[in-house]
Amino acid sequence: MGLDGKFVELQHEDGTHQGRAICLHAYSDLSCVSPVVFLYLLKECYAYGTCKATKKFRALQQQVHQVLYNSPQPGPAVFVAHCLYVLPILEEYSEGFSHLVISALRRFLKVGTTSEDLLEAKSLAARLFLFIVGGSIIHDERVLIKMLEVFEISMINIENSMCNAELNSSGSLELARTFVDKHIFKLIESESYMTAVTLLEHFSIRQSGESFLMKMMQNKDYRAADKWATFMGKPMLCVLVQEYSERKLLKHAFDIIKKNNLRKEFPEIYHKCKESSLKKLAEKGCWDVAEAKTNGDKQFLEYLVYLAMEAGYPEKVDELCDQYSLEGFINFKEPETSLTQNRYLQLNELDLEDIIWSMVCVVRHAILRNAKLWALTVNGSLITKRVSKPNKVSIMQIASEKMVFIIDLIKLFEDVPDILDNCLIRILHAPRILKLGYNFQCDVNQLAHSYGELTCFKHYEMLLDIQNVFKEPRGGLSGLAMKILGAGLNKTRRNSNWEQRPLTRNQLEYAALDAAVLIHIFRHVRSTSQPASVPEGPAKIEWKSHIVSYVGNLKKTKKEAKDAGIDALSQLVYF
């Protein structure tokens, strides 16, 4: 019985499973399977699949790549070309399946096929190109580009196809180029610049480029502009760099200079871009990354030293000067914009009594004073490319109204892990102590990854994540402090070396501020919250509903915790 007959028989006998059965049979031998039947079976596999779309697509991609070895007639490349002719009839499946069969063929051709197969496939694909451009067969622009690339269609192939299709009886290469040029011109008119550039590059068409470049720049299609300038060569790249510089797009200019080795042509722009990059990293506190990006260049290292001076980070100044033997940097040209242009919160503004570098003290403090409110944050060294494995979280800050305890996690975990675990359990697992955090789930994940042997980080009760209350889209905790308290946090030490011992006074103050500021933000939360009897106003902040508990893989809201019998809100002095 023929394949179509067998399909009907399987459909009658097996019901909904017929698609899978026939596909398994058909894929084992493509010598008698037409492209139409193959594509229909492919659609059935996709439609009946139970995985997510992306996973199904990848599985089918692998399947198609494998079946190209199973004797498709007259050859794998020709078989795929015929599939591309047929695919538009599948409508919503057309674009996805076109990419699928092309990418499968691309992998297959790395192993190789016969020259006869590839030659005939080129001819078929070139003729399909004419139909697509002419509008008689509909395919997406990206499918058109991929088809040209995988079949390596040249202008000569286009010329031969035009002749065979009786579109060009004289077989003139110039007419073939005119045909392609007209299509590219339409793409440019419709502002499909990337497709136009890719076609110009594929067919090696070099025409007046600067005006075309300006069109792409005006439409902010920078990817297409970069590709076009790279294809045209160094003179066009120089025009592009200058244009980026005039438009204040320094990152784009810097990328072009780096990729195309144009540093000698644009020394001033290069240095300006490099300094801008270093300054942004310094503002984020990513000093190690900034130092690595200087590549040992003395001028950039001196600039980084000056940024550290401006940020009030003397230990980084000393570290850089000692490591690279830098002298005379005081006379270095000052940056145009100061890192300290915004006012930063100072520790003495938070009315703290002390900063304590201890562990046992924090538990005694909690018990003796019957503390009901704590703020928890962590700090650790930045992971860079130079680090072979992730760094552990180095310290944990626990703040009360008047004191901040800074806990040396690395040392205590090495020396007294049981005491560390028990002490933190007393706080993290306590159902009558409200814990404040900022993006605390991320902190807990880092802690659990660093100290997975401890049980204290696998469970917490009564957590209020300030980030969820305000949902600030930008600026993080520093931006929230600026909004609520009128001053941000100086984050220049965020990614300093937290594994060094002893920590510097500046590091201790930064760590203390990071936790203590949560207490003061929470004061604002309480002051702007109103009793249930008061009608809701614009200033009211709903925060109690954001309190959660976490046990194992289960996160419970305040209401769920109350239903479970572990609610302690009524016993907290702050509520």
* pLDDT average, residue stretch 445-449: 87
The pLDDT value given to residue 527: 77
CA distance 321 to 329: 9
Do 110 and 59 belong to one domain? yes
> How far is CA 539 from its chain centroid?
35
Instruction: Quote the DSSP letter at residue 119.
Output: H
3-class SS at 279? helix
The answer to whether position 204 is within a domain reads no
Final residue of a structural domain among 111, 138, 153: 153
pLDDT tier for residue 265 given thresholds of 50, 70 and 90? very high
Contact 567, 561 (CB under 8 A): yes
pLDDT tier for residue 225 given thresholds of 50, 70 and 90? very high
Q: Is the pLDDT of residue 573 over 60?
A: no
Do 370 and 454 belong to one domain? yes
- Between 176-185, 462-471, 536-545, the lowest mean confidence (pLDDT) is in 536-545
CA distance 288 to 135: 56
Contact 224, 205 (CB under 8 A): no
Final residue of a structural domain among 153, 179, 203: 153
Do 355 and 504 belong to one domain? yes
Instruction: Quote the DSSP letter at residue 465.
Output: E
Give tens-digit pLDDT for 129-182. Answer: 999 999 999 999 999 999 999 999 999 999 988 887 555 445 578 888 999 999
In this prediction the pTM is 0.61
Give the mean pLDDT of the chain. 80
- Between 260-264, 508-512, 523-527, the lowest mean confidence (pLDDT) is in 523-527
The pLDDT value given to residue 208: 66
pLDDT tier for residue 567 given thresholds of 50, 70 and 90? very low
Do 132 and 59 belong to one domain? yes
Residue 84 tokens, joined: 């591309």
- Domain count for the chain, please give it: 3
The pLDDT value given to residue 309: 82
Give tens-digit pLDDT for 286-312. Answer: 888 888 899 999 889 988 888 888 777
CA angle 445, 544, 478 (to 5 degrees): 55
For residue 352, count other CB atoms closer than 10 A to its CB: 18
The pLDDT value given to residue 3: 34
Do 27 and 130 belong to one domain? yes
Q: Is the pLDDT of residue 321 over 50?
A: yes
Do 365 and 497 belong to one domain? yes
Show the domain range for 430.
347-571
Residue 174 tokens, joined: 């110039």
Q: Is the pLDDT of residue 572 over 60?
A: no
Do 425 and 319 belong to one domain? no
The pLDDT value given to residue 29: 75
The pLDDT value given to residue 20: 45
Do 362 and 321 belong to one domain? no
User: For the residues of 171-224, what is the DSSP string, one character each?
Assistant: --HHHHHHHHHHHHHHHHHTT-HHHHHHHHHHTT-----HHHHHHHHHTT-HHH
> For the purposes of burial, counting CB atoms within 10 Å of the CB of 533, is it exposed (0-12), middle (13-18) or buried (19 or more)?
exposed
pLDDT tier for residue 568 given thresholds of 50, 70 and 90? very low
The answer to whether position 512 is within a domain reads yes
The answer to whether position 171 is within a domain reads no
Do 493 and 533 belong to one domain? yes
Looking up residue 486, the CATH number of its domain turns out to be 3.30.420.10
Q: Is the pLDDT of residue 26 over 60?
A: no
Do 300 and 386 belong to one domain? no
The answer to whether position 201 is within a domain reads no
Q: Is the pLDDT of residue 101 over 80?
A: yes
Residue 75 tokens, joined: 């050859």
3-class SS at 378? strand
The answer to whether position 28 is within a domain reads yes
- Between 30-34, 106-110, 246-250, the lowest mean confidence (pLDDT) is in 30-34
* pLDDT average, residue stretch 210-227: 94
Give tens-digit pLDDT for 326-348. Answer: 876 554 444 444 444 556 677 77
pLDDT tier for residue 386 given thresholds of 50, 70 and 90? very low
What is the chain's percent helix, strand, coil content, to nearest 5? 60, 10, 30
The answer to whether position 254 is within a domain reads no
Rg, Å, the chain Cα set: 33
Residue with token string 């009793």: 531
Phi, psi of 33 (to 5 degrees): -105, 125
Residue percentage of the chain with pLDDT more than 90: 30
The pLDDT value given to residue 371: 67
Final residue of a structural domain among 281, 300, 331: 331
The answer to whether position 197 is within a domain reads no
The answer to whether position 533 is within a domain reads yes
> For 476, left (φ over 0), alpha (ψ -120 to 50), or beta?
left
Do 430 and 533 belong to one domain? yes
CA distance 520 to 485: 8
Q: Which residue has the higher pLDDT, 544 or 349?
A: 544
Do 322 and 425 belong to one domain? no
Residue percentage of the chain with pLDDT more than 70: 77
